[in-house]
């Protein structure tokens, strides 16, 4: 309750700050923002950087395998993750630009995102082909995942896929698609032909059907679903004659959704497909119980999300697929949480849109699996192709602390976008040298990450202030900092400092396995930082020693926390705080700045909770 009140206060403060900023910025002003995220232990002890256009934030992350990948998130999701859950202040610098400059920048980042995703999809397809041919070479029957083949009872419980029907298969193939992809498309086509012929029921385990009052359909929702059923019938008819290579999987999904809509109308409540991907991670019942204090709030948020999603049924003239996907996702997440809380089931977790995949592993057709070629030669060649493609990706996207990191890639993209070369050229990744001319002309300067340690996020933030024409700056405080500020405003400073300065008595922070072992928060005590850091160092070393003893029991978890605790105490001895603690949960109230109105290309003013706008330094 106390936290909820504080949260509401922070939100009101942010709205006031946002309104103030809006008054200072001409309507229609185009801008982008450079975001510098302070360091914390864990994901990015060197800090992080991002660029924001309107409601979208682009940032590069270091992935397992040593590759850098571009990500796009909504501004509210980005700030929720970094400022709240990861408890790191985000320093924001807004740069006013001409609309055409904004378009070039935004277009460049968007094009790179699509290009990268395509390249990684290509790599996955080549690796699947490599695995398929290796299995064939080893004398085993290769299996491929087939989207949609697991929706209906017959396809997995039956005796295997039927033989292709002459003339019934679509005109796919004959192109350069990897073998595994061709096989999956053909198998999906075969499965859907059988489903159309036999009309088997949906498998029980792919359906979310729970007799809950909150899933009861209102009259207008029934009308909307009835209309949607007709639309799905029409789409199914079109897909039967479609020439697209993946028509089989698309048709299976359409038929499966049509079946759930029919069941919903019959039962008078929402019955939907299970939308979690087959490889979704899951928290065990024990892990869920350990988070018991957050579960009521999470369930309330999930219920609210479901209510919002269902508005499309009541208000939209026609339910579109995106509407249905939103409802499916919200229902699935709500039921998953409810089942974990009330029935002690594991809790599956998946970020982003949830689209039912109905995936099943099916054996590759013999004529594709063994076309008569030298199996060993084919397997070797597929491995070489995949290896070459991996190497090419690593050469272009490989993480390098000094030369290609989350900072350098942002400035490289800015320079390319504003250079003479038109954004979205034939190969967006083939950029080796930085041409600063366009950036200097459009932004007033150029940040070359190769110069003067500018590959470090906080140094780069200083360079942005020095090089670009920054209009305003502000800081989105970390979750702990914003709540502490509210406490200081209401309570005795000394009491708050003593109570909240350590992990044992803090009312805001609970020690987590994801955080290192430490005792004192040193962020709020700059002068005493070395002394408190020394205590933290001792705690880390002590935890390490205890971790050695606990090794057989906990698999090294305490030892790791202890070692990390000692490591991240060392900078504190030199007055530097990196470790700030993190949170498993924070209310997902809208952060101002994620919802903005007006503006050109981007939008008018952005503010985040507690953000304090100020004029630029220069």
Give the one residue of 154, 214, 233, 246 binding other proteins; rule: CB under 8 A. 246
State the DSSP code for 165.
P
Residue among 223 and 349 whose Cβ is closer to other proteins: 349
| 77 counts as binding other proteins under rule CB under 8 A | yes
Rg (CA), the chain: 27
How many residues contact other proteins, by CB under 8 A? 120
| 578 counts as binding other proteins under rule CB under 8 A | yes
Instruction: Evaluate whether 591 touches 73 at the Cβ level (below 8 Å).
Output: no
3-state secondary structure at position 483:
helix
The whole-angstrom distance between residue 301's C-alpha and the CA centroid of its chain comes to 18
Residue among 254 and 375 whose Cβ is closer to other proteins: 254
**Nearest-CA neighbor of 198 among 153, 231, 166, 159?**
153
- The b-or-e profile of 485-503 (16+ CB within 10 A means b, else e) is ebbeeeeeeeebeebbbeb
| Residues counted in the chain | 618
| 74 counts as binding other proteins under rule CB under 8 A | yes
- 341-360 residues in contact with other proteins (CB under 8 A) are 347-356
Q: At what angle do helices 408-418 and 99-137 cross, to 10 degrees?
A: 120
Cα–Cα distance measured from residue 90 to residue 432, given in angstroms and rounded to the nearest whole number: 30
- 208-237 residues in contact with other proteins (CB under 8 A) are 234-235
CB of 140 to other proteins, least distance (A): 27
In which region does residue 146 sit, left (phi positive, over 0), alpha (psi from -120 to 50) or beta (all else)? beta
Q: CB-based contacts of 345: which residues, under 8 Å, 6+ apart?
A: 285, 336, 339
Give the one residue of 47, 419, 565, 593 binding other proteins; rule: CB under 8 A. 47
| 72 counts as binding other proteins under rule CB under 8 A | yes
Cα–Cα distance measured from residue 576 to residue 529, given in angstroms and rounded to the nearest whole number: 8
| 565 counts as binding other proteins under rule CB under 8 A | no
Cα–Cα distance measured from residue 345 to residue 390, given in angstroms and rounded to the nearest whole number: 39
CB of 85 to other proteins, least distance (A): 6
Cα–Cα distance measured from residue 244 to residue 277, given in angstroms and rounded to the nearest whole number: 23
| 15 counts as binding other proteins under rule CB under 8 A | no
| 250 counts as binding other proteins under rule CB under 8 A | yes
Helix intervals (H) in 555-575: 557-573
Give the one residue of 14, 326, 439, 516 binding other proteins; rule: CB under 8 A. 326
Q: CB-based contacts of 279: which residues, under 8 Å, 6+ apart?
A: none
Helix intervals (H) in 138-178: 153-157
Give the one residue of 11, 15, 22, 115 binding other proteins; rule: CB under 8 A. 115
DSSP 505-517: T-SS----TTSPP
Cα–Cα distance measured from residue 483 to residue 480, given in angstroms and rounded to the nearest whole number: 5
Residue among 209 and 301 whose Cβ is closer to other proteins: 301
| 601 counts as binding other proteins under rule CB under 8 A | yes
Give the one residue of 9, 11, 110, 528 binding other proteins; rule: CB under 8 A. 110
- 395-424 residues in contact with other proteins (CB under 8 A) are 399, 401, 405-407, 424
| 475 counts as binding other proteins under rule CB under 8 A | no
Residue among 162 and 297 whose Cβ is closer to other proteins: 297
CB of 556 to other proteins, least distance (A): 18
Residue among 128 and 379 whose Cβ is closer to other proteins: 128
| 240 counts as binding other proteins under rule CB under 8 A | no
Give the one residue of 52, 69, 203, 228 binding other proteins; rule: CB under 8 A. 69
Give the one residue of 389, 488, 497, 585 binding other proteins; rule: CB under 8 A. 585
**Nearest-CA neighbor of 305 among 588, 14, 82?**
588
Instruction: Evaluate whether 521 touches 580 at the Cβ level (below 8 Å).
Output: yes
Residue linked to tokens 């705690």: 539
Give the one residue of 3, 98, 308, 452 binding other proteins; rule: CB under 8 A. 308
Using H for helix, E for strand and C for coil, what is the string for 178-225? CHHHHHHHHHHHHHHHHHHHHCCCECHHHEECCCCHHHECCHHHHHHH
- 274-303 residues in contact with other proteins (CB under 8 A) are 281, 283, 287-288, 291, 294, 298, 301-302
Residue among 231 and 550 whose Cβ is closer to other proteins: 231
Give the one residue of 194, 222, 345, 588 binding other proteins; rule: CB under 8 A. 588
| 71 counts as binding other proteins under rule CB under 8 A | yes
Give the one residue of 31, 51, 52, 73 binding other proteins; rule: CB under 8 A. 73
| 468 counts as binding other proteins under rule CB under 8 A | no
Give the one residue of 154, 305, 435, 589 binding other proteins; rule: CB under 8 A. 305
Instruction: Give φ, ψ of 52 to 5 degrees.
Output: -120, 135
* E strand residue ranges, 453-601: 470-476
**Burial grade of 237 (CB within 10 A; 0-12, 13-18, 19 or more):** exposed
Give the one residue of 431, 567, 612, 616 binding other proteins; rule: CB under 8 A. 567
Residue among 551 and 584 whose Cβ is closer to other proteins: 584
Which helix or strand (DSSP H or E) is residue 463 part of? helix 457-467
- 480-539 residues in contact with other proteins (CB under 8 A) are none
| 27 counts as binding other proteins under rule CB under 8 A | no
| 249 counts as binding other proteins under rule CB under 8 A | yes
Which helix or strand (DSSP H or E) is residue 58 part of? strand 56-63
| 121 counts as binding other proteins under rule CB under 8 A | yes
CB of 357 to other proteins, least distance (A): 8
| 462 counts as binding other proteins under rule CB under 8 A | no
Give the one residue of 92, 329, 566, 611 binding other proteins; rule: CB under 8 A. 329
- 442-461 residues in contact with other proteins (CB under 8 A) are 456-458
| 62 counts as binding other proteins under rule CB under 8 A | yes
Cα–Cα distance measured from residue 102 to residue 97, given in angstroms and rounded to the nearest whole number: 6
| 114 counts as binding other proteins under rule CB under 8 A | yes
Structure token pair of residue 151: 């929706």
Spell out, one character per residue from 152 to 191, where the chain touches other proteins: x when CB under 8 A holds, - when not. Answer: --------------------x-xxxx---x----------
CB of 80 to other proteins, least distance (A): 8
């Amino acid at each position: 309750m106390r936290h909820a009140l504080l949260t509401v206060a922070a939100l009101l403060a942010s709205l006031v700050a946002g309104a103030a900023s809006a008054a200072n910025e001409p309507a229609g002003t185009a801008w982008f923002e450079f975001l510098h995220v302070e360091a914390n232990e864990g994901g990015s002890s060197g800090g992080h950087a991002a660029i924001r256009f309107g409601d979208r934030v682009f940032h590069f992350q270091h992935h397992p395998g040593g590759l850098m990948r571009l990500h796009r998130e909504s501004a509210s999701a980005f700030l929720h993750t970094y400022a709240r859950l990861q408890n790191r202040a985000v320093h924001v610098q807004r740069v006013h630009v001409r609309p055409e400059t904004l378009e070039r920048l935004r277009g460049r980042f968007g094009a790179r995102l699509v290009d990268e995703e395509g390249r990684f999809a290509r790599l996955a397809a080549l690796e699947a082909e490599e695995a398929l041919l290796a299995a064939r070479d080893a004398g085993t029957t290769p299996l491929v995942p087939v989207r949609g083949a697991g929706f209906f009872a017959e396809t997995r419980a039956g005796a295997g896929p039927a033989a292709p029907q002459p003339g019934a298969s679509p005109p796919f193939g004959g192109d350069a698609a990897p073998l595994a992809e061709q096989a999956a498309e053909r198998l999906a086509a075969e499965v859907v032909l059988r489903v159309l012929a036999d009309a088997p029921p949906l498998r029980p385990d792919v359906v979310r059907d729970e007799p809950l009052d909150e899933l009861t359909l209102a009259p207008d929702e029934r009308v909307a679903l009835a209309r949607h059923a007709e639309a799905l019938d029409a789409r199914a008819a079109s897909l039967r004659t479609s020439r697209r290579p993946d028509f089989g999987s698309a048709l299976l999904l359409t038929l499966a959704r049509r079946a759930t809509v029919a069941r919903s109308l019959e039962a008078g409540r929402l019955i939907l497909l299970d939308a979690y991907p087959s490889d979704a991670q899951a928290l065990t019942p024990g892990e869920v119980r350990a988070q018991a204090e957050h579960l009521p709030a999470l369930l309330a948020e999930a219920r609210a999300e479901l209510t919002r999603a269902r508005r499309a049924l009541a208000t939209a003239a026609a339910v579109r697929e995106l509407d249905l996907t939103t409802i499916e996702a919200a229902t699935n997440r709500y039921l998953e949480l409810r089942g974990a809380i009330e029935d002690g089931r594991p809790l599956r977790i998946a970020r982003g849109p949830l689209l039912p995949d109905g995936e099943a592993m099916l054996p590759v057709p013999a004529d594709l699996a063994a076309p008569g070629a030298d199996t060993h030669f084919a397997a070797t060649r597929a491995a070489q192709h995949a290896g070459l493609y991996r190497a090419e990706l690593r050469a272009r996207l490989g993480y390098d602390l000094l030369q290609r990191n989350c900072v350098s890639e942002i400035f490289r993209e800015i320079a390319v976008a504003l250079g003479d070369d038109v954004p979205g050229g034939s190969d967006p990744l083939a950029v080796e040298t930085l041409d600063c001319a366009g950036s200097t002309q459009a932004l007033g300067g150029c940040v070359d990450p190769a110069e003067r340690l500018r590959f470090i996020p906080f140094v780069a933030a200083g360079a942005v202030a020095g090089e670009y024409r920054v209009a305003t700056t502000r800081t989105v405080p970390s979750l702990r900092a914003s709540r502490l500020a509210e406490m200081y405003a209401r309570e005795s400073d000394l009491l708050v400092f003593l109570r909240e300065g350590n992990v044992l008595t803090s009312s805001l922070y609970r020690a987590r396995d994801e955080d290192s072992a430490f005792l004192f928060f040193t962020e709020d005590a700059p002068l005493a930082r070395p002394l408190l850091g020394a205590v933290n160092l001792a705690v880390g070393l002590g935890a390490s020693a205890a971790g050695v003893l606990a090794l057989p029991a906990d698999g090294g978890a305490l030892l790791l926390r202890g070692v990390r605790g000692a490591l991240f105490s060392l900078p504190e001895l030199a007055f530097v705080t990196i470790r700030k603690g993190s949170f498993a949960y924070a209310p997902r109230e809208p952060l101002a700045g994620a919802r903005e109105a007006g503006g050109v290309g981007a939008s008018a003013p952005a503010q985040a909770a507690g953000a304090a706008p100020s004029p630029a330094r220069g």
